[in-house]
A and B are shown apart, each in its own frame.
Chain A
């Protein structure tokens, strides 16, 4: 019982220490990429400083207490913190998260990319080569994904007939034809709570292959503009070749604002 009293005496210090260690693990284990846009990582680093200050203060508070007068009360408050720390330590499972967001999305061919449709908020950064779209072949990578996909949905006619290579996971919607799927990626503007789906409708009619939901592919195809029931023709990738690839460990696309 005495041990429990000591634990209760140091309760704030113990919980804040756990919280600090958890934040440190998330930051140094590069796990933040699974939860937050890198533009916001600075706030987690700053939170480590503030939580450290609070932890040190909690130690002084505990040191000033008398074990004889410390009586247990309001367990609930501390239990809430314990539950939180437990959940923070489960760690990311990007495959399950991809699948969850995709399953809950209501993508239709005409509106699948509406989150990109009006965007001109991204401009090429200093590494301008990866944003070059003047050739007949465009390789879409994680770095240029948001910029190029944005541009394709803003001015699709500029890209018609060009060959495009892109990685993503297979997302199947009931609103697509049987031979179609969307080669998708999750876009995270701030944190995983605002994750949405981005990608292209992919027409696999010429390929004799069954694609499983959520499997990761590198697809190569020619971009066409097709009537898919929307207000204007939708960009559709006519699949020419594909390769199964392992799931990306940092699979999300984070728009970077210049």
Chain B
């Protein structure tokens, strides 16, 4: 059993390690070389426009969920509104061309599935981003370190200031003297920050990998198939199944196809949309950025909105 467990651990870790490491390096580059003002100029100022643009970011940056968490953490430190960050985190793994292509190939007879998956990714991430923007305050969402307070023009619209969100023990000289640093100091600061962030984010990534692998090793797949028949809503079952499996969003369409004789397109869409947005591994990694309560809220909101979208999509498919 240990060799099977280690096979899952190794496979899932190898699948994500490059995206994690490049994610922490990009996050550190953003942190050291890009000023808060640059970010506030790039991000559209309007709430709706900003969230809408965030939901389409994945079309330019096809990054999987392991890489996007540290990058978004870096952007939040630079003053990206939390609502935009949440939208990006949810949409990028689904709304990108690599995911679209693999879904299109996995369902060659039904190209509509790939388009509906994209549409679902955009809709769900937009709605949840808007919810966060309208109803939640930053300090109820972010995991705050009370070390240094700072705010940017973008954050002034919100009711609270964004507190310093750097990883503990980081020696990258956030904030205070960055503009006075020489290029060599900046590069050194960037790598120092990368190492610290790698261990901080990597810890959650590895715990996610260990837990997912335990599920894969100790819960036989046919046990889940047996349960599926007795479950009231197959859509709900498939979101749970995707959560446990934690398969990379760029290949999960093939696994969904293998279940197409048991489940309808609505349930398969649930599997592909919610699984890409939140799973065991991502839940652990989100601990780097968000408070536990918000992660629970996010998971529940993703499941509910994905199920609603999928039921609607299935009805549309039937009419067509």
Where the two chains meet, the residues of A that have a C-beta atom closer than 8 Å to any C-beta of B are 12, 15-16, 23, 26, 32, 34-36, 40, 43-44, 46-47, 50-51, 53-54, 56-58, 60-61, 74, 76-78, 80-81, 83-84, 87-88, 90-93, 96-97, 100, 103-106, 111, 114-115, 117-121, 189-194, 196, 257
Contact = CB atoms under 8 A, between A and B. Distances in A.
A193 B254 CA distance: 12
A46 B25 CA distance: 13
B199 A12 contact: yes
Given A61-B192, A87-B9, A193 B4 contact: no
Interface of B is mostly: helix
Interface string B211-237: 011001100111101100000000000
Given A53-B25, A54-B21, A90 B6 contact: yes
A interface secondary structure, majority:
helix
Contacts of B46: none
A158 B257 CA distance: 24
A194 B220 CA distance: 13
Contacts of B294: none
A88 B203 contact: no
B5 A87 contact: yes
B271 interface: no
B183 to A, nearest CB: 16
Contacts of B203: 76-77, 80-81
B261 A81 contact: no
Contact of B7 (A26, A53, A92): A92
Contact of A87 (B6, B15, B212): B6
Contacts of A196: 255, 258
B7 A35 contact: yes
B21 A50 contact: yes
B3 A93 contact: yes
A120 B252 CA distance: 18
A34 B7 contact: yes
A15 B203 CA distance: 12
A162 B276 CA distance: 42
A83 B212 CA distance: 15
B309 interface: no
Contacts of A117: 261
Q: 4 tightest A-B contacts by CB?
A: A57-B191, A190-B251, A192-B11, A115-B258
Contacts of B308: none
Interface stretch (B101-109, B133-141, B148-156): B101-109
Interface residues of B, number: 66
Interface of B: 2-15, 17-19, 21-22, 25, 105-109, 168, 171, 188, 191-192, 194-195, 198-200, 202-203, 206-207, 209-210, 212-213, 216-217, 220-223, 225-226, 245-248, 250-252, 254-255, 257-262
Given A50-B18, A118-B109, A119-B108, A111 B7 contact: no
B4 A121 contact: no
B7 A115 contact: no
A61 B194 CA distance: 11
A32 B146 CA distance: 44
Which of A80, A90, A191 has the most chain B CB within a 10 Å cutoff? Answer: A191
Contacts of A84: 9, 13, 206, 209-210
A65 to B, nearest CB: 10
Nearest to A115: B258
B141 to A, nearest CB: 24
Contact of B251 (A35, A43, A100, A194): A194
A50 B25 contact: yes
Contacts of A36: 11, 14-15
A168 B22 CA distance: 38
A90 B222 CA distance: 27
A189 B18 contact: no
A156 B248 CA distance: 32
A96 to B, nearest CB: 5
Nearest to A50: B21
A40 B15 contact: yes
B298 to A, nearest CB: 23
A193 B11 contact: yes
A191 B248 contact: yes
Given A90-B10, A106-B222, A114-B258, 6 more contacts: A43-B17, A50-B25, A97-B4, A100-B217, A106-B226, A115-B257
A47 B21 contact: yes
Q: Select the residue from B9, B171, B192, B262 with max chain A CB neighbours within 10 A.
A: B9
30 contacts: A12-B195, A26-B10, A32-B14, A44-B17, A46-B18, A54-B194, A57-B192, A57-B195, A61-B192, A61-B195, A77-B200, A80-B206, A80-B207, A81-B202, A81-B206, A84-B206, A87-B10, A88-B13, A90-B3, A96-B3, A106-B222, A115-B257, A121-B108, A189-B255, A191-B15, A191-B251, A192-B11, A193-B247, A194-B247, A194-B252
